[in-house]
Structure 1
Amino acid sequence: MSPTRPRPRAARALLAGFAVLVAVHLVALLVRTAAGSGSGAGALAHAAVLATKPALMPVLAGYALARGGPPLMAGALLLGCCGDTLLQIGGDLLFLLGMAAFAAGHVCYLVLFARHGTAPTRARTAAAAGAYALACATLVVLLWPGLPVDLRGPVAGYSLLLTGMAFGALRAGALAAVGGLLFLLSDSLIATGIAAWPQAPAPHFWVMLTYVAAQLALTLGLLRTAGRTVPAASAAPHPVRV
């Protein structure tokens, strides 16, 4: 699909809205942890968490479209919204469905990297592939004993796809590559919680901080790269800039 026509004013408003939502969500997570969900402040913070989490990615998707990004980029972000919502509701089945939604989003990103990215040199590709493969294998091996038996296969398969997405992000420049690594970190934090590893204080805060930073970095990196690869005949009148 072709990129959409840029709307700079709408893009600025949507990015500001995204920043506000992120701030409210992260602060609410900290308040909920500190106050406890049973207190009045904790209950209010919990309501803010539930209200803001499903809204994050649709607003970022709107920003991507307003910047003239490819519709598939918005699709990847909206699949992230599906995953966020399903994981927030909870339950084993919904966890697996949420994981599937995120996996579909990673496939969208891989297609975007292939369309708009530039392949690194062979030496860099080989070195990065080895590093990412080693990281994925190490994480799965370490997590395996602590994972519920019925989640071991899905988590291993998802980890492989997620690592592939993070590796593929190298094609879209440094900012997207940072986004891929942050996505790996965020989902690794979730996996360590499932495997009952010791957690840092306010673990949900760190999961969401790295997650929103990952999605934003991937979006901005792809917008920059897609802006350079739009064919001249179909380019929008205003270039895409970060």
Structure 2
Amino acid sequence: MRAPAPRPRAARALLLVFAVLGVGHLAALVAHAGAAPGSGPAALADTVVHLTKPALMPLLAAHVLLRGGPPLLAGALLFGCGGDTFLQIGGGTAFLVGMASFAAGHLCYLALFARHGRRGRAGGPAGAPGRRRARTAGAAGLYAAALVVTVVLLWPDLPADLRIPVAGYSLLLTVMAFGALWTAPWAAVGGLLFLLSDSLIAGGIARWPQLPAPQFWIMLTYTAAQCALAVGVLAAAGPRDPVPPMPRPALA
């Protein structure tokens, strides 16, 4: 499917709406955490949270399309919306469906990384291929170790019916985050933030000690992850409009 013609002015407007809605969503999460359970402020904050959460990723997906970005990137974000919606519904079945929707988004990201990633590009100083292989092996070892440690620590505390699905999803998420390393700096940041966000969710399911207002931290890292992934893929794909890119993060 071919990307639509870019409309940078409309893209900027949608990005502003996304940012305002995202800040409102995070503020409502903080307000809900600080309000007395069952009170009017808690009910109002809860309503704002439930109305704004499913709207965030469609706005970002529309921004991507108006930037002339890959439709598959918009698809990855919309699968994220599906995950957000089902996780918000609650319950074991909805959680599994939501996790499957996020997994579909990760598969979209992997396809985008394969298409637009910088692995194997020509150029670089003498000996660069050998250094790239060493860096790849080192990064793979670190991500694999993080996956194993996370699953081993979570396994005893997870409900029995969620152990295999969570382990499989964790593997796919880790592969996605690893693939993001070789796509663009912002994509790498997004992959790491996605790992952090989902680790916070898994820790809550396992009933580990939580940070104050845990949903705030989950949504902050998740929203930032999706934004960074979108920016990274747009940069790697070569957006066709004059919207100024975000500054390049300093990565080691």
**Bucket of the pairwise TM-score, normalised by the shorter protein:** over 0.9
Q: Which residue of 1 aligns with 2:78?
A: 78
Q: Which residue of 2 aligns with 1:134?
A: 145
Q: Which residue of 1 aligns with 2:32?
A: 32
Q: SS at 1:12's partner residue?
A: helix
For 1:33 and 1:170, how far apart are their aligned partners in 2? 35
Q: Which residue of 2 aligns with 1:216?
A: 227
- Provide the identity percentage: 67
AA partner of residue 34 (structure 2): A
Q: 1:37: how far off?
A: 4.0
Unaligned residue ranges in structure 2 (runs of 5+):
121-131, 246-252
AA partner of residue 162 (structure 1): L
Farther off after superposition, 118-127 or 89-98: 118-127
Task: State the TM-score, normalized to the length of structure 2.
Answer: 0.90
Q: 1:3: how far off?
A: 2.6
For 2:58 and 2:108, how far apart are their aligned partners in 1? 16
How large is the Cα RMSD of the aligned pairs?
A: 1.2
Q: SS at 1:119's partner residue?
A: coil
Q: Which residue of 1 aligns with 2:102?
A: 102
Q: 1:97 to 1:112 in 2, by over 3 A?
A: same
Q: 1:240 to 1:68 in 2, by over 3 A?
A: farther
1:19 aligns with 2:30: no
Matches within 5 A, 1:1-242: 1-119=1-119, 121-227=132-238, 236=240, 238=241, 241-242=244-245
For 1:24 and 1:154, how far apart are their aligned partners in 2? 32
Q: 1:6: how far off?
A: 1.1
Q: SS at 1:68's partner residue?
A: coil
Q: 1:239: how far off?
A: 5.5
For 2:231 and 2:58, how far apart are their aligned partners in 1? 15
Q: Which residue of 1 aligns with 2:248?
A: none
Is this contact kept in 1: 2:76–2:105, CA < 8 A? yes
For 1:223 and 1:206, how far apart are their aligned partners in 2? 26
For 2:74 and 2:99, how far apart are their aligned partners in 1? 18
The answer to which structure has the higher helix fraction is 1
The CA deviation string for residues 104-156 of structure 1, in whole angstroms up to 9 with x for no partner, is 00000000000011117211111110000000000000000000000000000
Q: Which residue of 2 aligns with 1:233?
A: none
Q: 1:192 to 1:216 in 2, by over 3 A?
A: same
AA partner of residue 17 (structure 1): V
**Length, aligned pairs only:** 234
Is this contact kept in 2: 1:167–1:180, CA < 8 A? yes
Once superposed, which parts of structure 1, at least 4 consecutive aligned residues long, lie more than 3 Å away? 238-241
Q: Which residue of 1 aligns with 2:249?
A: none
Q: SS at 2:5's partner residue?
A: coil
Is this contact kept in 2: 1:227–1:239, CA < 8 A? no
For 2:158 and 2:76, how far apart are their aligned partners in 1? 27
AA partner of residue 138 (structure 1): V
Q: 1:241: how far off?
A: 4.9
Q: SS at 1:207's partner residue?
A: helix
For 1:169 and 1:223, how far apart are their aligned partners in 2? 13
For 2:160 and 2:167, how far apart are their aligned partners in 1? 11
Q: SS at 1:171's partner residue?
A: coil
Q: Which residue of 2 aligns with 1:231?
A: none
Q: 1:19: how far off?
A: 0.3
For 1:36 and 1:185, how far apart are their aligned partners in 2? 29
Q: SS at 2:181's partner residue?
A: helix
Is this contact kept in 2: 1:118–1:172, CA < 8 A? yes
Task: State the TM-score, normalized to the length of structure 1.
Answer: 0.94
